[in-house]
Amino acid sequence: MDFSIKSLDTKTPISNIKTACMVVGVFDNKKLSPEAAELNIKGVIDAAIKSGDITGKVGSSLLLRKIDGVAAERVLLLGLGDNPEKVSEKAYTSATQVAARQLHALGASEVCIALPTADGRDFTWSIRQNVVAFNEAIFRSDAYKSKKDTIPANVKKVAIAVAAKNASAAKIALAQSIALVNGLELAKELGNMPANFCTPTHLANTAKKIATEFKMGVEILERKQLQALKMNSFLSVSAGTVEPPKFIVLKHMGGKAKDAPVVLVGKGITFDSGGISLKPGVGMDEMKYDMGGAGSVLGTMRAIGEMKLKLNVIAVIPTCENMPSGTATRPGDIVTSMSGQTIEILNTDAEGRLILCDALTYVERFKPAAVIDIATLTGAIITCLGHHNAGLFTRHDETHDKLAEEILAAGKQANDTAWRMPISELYNEQLKSNFADIANIGGPPAGSITAACFLERFTKKYTWAHLDIAGVSWKSGAAKGSTGRPVSLLTTFLMNRAG
């Protein structure tokens, strides 16, 4: 799909723009947006509202054809709610989604979006919402079907109207939005792939492809190298599978040579059976999504690579399968992590923290400015936060509070939100072991918090945050599929860091 910016000024009124469909907003109190008012020649739009053909409520729409004096062949009216002075983010987002779905089903191959911006947001946010909505409407998950799904995708060109004074900045925002959507789509495609296709080797090859396309550095560590590094915690998870583990290091060095990098660590369990602590069969197919952290990190790296972001960012992805077999790790086994700390594995289904702890030790060599690990770590976070917010964990001090504020702000900015959870020494009591330095589970109470406390023990030498994305990484039921989250949050966070 081809996106562009349409510059508006007194010499280029909306009524003179030739397009197959012009999209404008109306309100529940029978008021028109400024853009709709310009098209209200001979009161045609007023008449449609007065007759009740469109109410202006959020989600409502009406298609008008061939209005006299309007160059556009069609005009699509979108309801934006009851407050012309303050269009809510929810109303704006809903309107773009409605427009994308309807326009893709029409015969219009090119459209122009001329909506007012949401209250408190600038035009750059609006541009992103439109790009995301139009791509989401045609995103396909039928790669493995012999007969492809019929998804209307008639729109080929989308112009987004902005004031002439903002045109230059809007073009930059548009390029960034397209890069972000490309990263989101990569993360969703990886998440939706079945585990017999999306193996650790496939994730490694995807990293290599990103490195080649966007001139990044890449290194893939194999089993022998992991053994030499004494990553015995990571290797214990892969002990029961024939699929070889991979340890991916992908480097985007867009900043100054001496600048400390931001490091993203993504959990890459490409299938999680639970190991010897086998999961119930119902819903186990969804454990192909347990590489959501890895997928979101790769998607983010692709996005910032396309943006040519001026920041040093390193992605570290430990990836393997967690399977039961005669060689699999048993409950009660003790392993020595790369850090030298010993771990009693009470439950082999708490495997994410076992691969992450070695990765978090490995990243010390980069002397990072900050480290964020991203993982579909615990079902307990869904009990806490549902499917709306990712769980954010950091230490509670001035430095980590600042990092938490950055991440939370980026989430709000990107409509990809997180919620900060507590972490403290009190919860470590649950992780005590009679036989090793630490147990890998702390029992049912505060399960997401004790998991974060486990990881925190391996991050003492740098500033660190943990995102538990188990509740937001994919959807179940009729809408089953990867969401691509938190690519938007992470990309926005890095863009803000880069200034």
Q: Are residues 19 and 148 in the same domain?
A: yes
Q: Are residues 157 and 228 in the same domain?
A: no
Does residue 181 register a pLDDT over 90?
Answer: yes
Q: Cα dist. 442→92, 371, 447 in Å?
A: 43, 24, 7
Angle at which helix 89-105 crosses helix 123-136, to 10 degrees, equals 40
- Predicted local confidence at residue 90, as pLDDT: 92
Q: Does residue 353 carry a catalytic annotation?
A: yes
Q: What is the pLDDT of residues 397-424, one digit of tens each?
A: 999 999 999 999 999 999 999 999 999 9
For residue 484, being part of any structural domain is answered with yes
Q: Are residues 307 and 373 in the same domain?
A: yes
* CATH number for the domain harbouring residue 83: 3.40.220.10
Q: What is the pLDDT of residues 34-64, one digit of tens each?
A: 999 999 988 999 999 998 899 889 999 999 9
What order of strands is seen across the sheet that includes strand 61-65? 2-8, 157-163, 110-113, 21-26, 74-79, 61-65
For residue 233, being part of any structural domain is answered with yes
Identify the CA nearest to 114 among candidates 97, 96, 101.
96
Q: Are residues 298 and 330 in the same domain?
A: yes
Q: What is the pLDDT of residues 66-117, one digit of tens each?
A: 999 999 999 999 999 988 889 999 999 999 999 999 998 888 899 999 999 8
Q: What is the pLDDT of residues 104-139, one digit of tens each?
A: 888 889 999 999 988 888 889 999 999 999 999 888
For residue 168, being part of any structural domain is answered with no
Q: Are residues 41 and 120 in the same domain?
A: yes
Does residue 142 register a pLDDT over 90?
Answer: no
Q: Are residues 204 and 144 in the same domain?
A: no
Q: Are residues 187 and 269 in the same domain?
A: yes
For residue 367, being part of any structural domain is answered with yes
- Predicted local confidence at residue 106, as pLDDT: 87
Average pLDDT, the chain: 95
- Predicted local confidence at residue 481, as pLDDT: 96
User: What is the extent of the structural domain holding 302?
Assistant: 182-498
CB 56 within 8 A of CB 82: yes
**Total tally of structural domains belonging to the chain:** 2
For residue 136, being part of any structural domain is answered with yes
Q: Are residues 331 and 209 in the same domain?
A: yes
* CATH number for the domain harbouring residue 304: 3.40.630.10
- Predicted local confidence at residue 12, as pLDDT: 80
- Predicted local confidence at residue 18, as pLDDT: 94
Tell which phi-psi region holds residue 117, choosing left (phi > 0), alpha (psi between -120 and 50) or beta. beta
State the greatest distance between any 2 C-alpha atoms of the chain, in Å, as a whole number: 83
Q: Are residues 118 and 70 in the same domain?
A: yes
Q: What is the pLDDT of residues 214-243, one digit of tens each?
A: 999 999 999 999 999 999 999 999 999 999
Q: Are residues 416 and 380 in the same domain?
A: yes
For residue 167, being part of any structural domain is answered with no
Q: What is the gyration radius of the CA atoms in the chain, in angstroms?
A: 25
Catalytic residue among 57, 279, 330, 461: 279
Q: Are residues 139 and 273 in the same domain?
A: no
Helix then strand then coil, in percent of the chain rounded to 5, is 40, 20, 40
Residue ending a domain, among 162, 194, 221, is 162
For residue 193, being part of any structural domain is answered with yes
For residue 174, being part of any structural domain is answered with no
Q: Are residues 192 and 152 in the same domain?
A: no
Instruction: Tell me what the mean pLDDT of segment 462-486 comes to.
Output: 97
Catalytic residue among 302, 353, 485, 497: 353
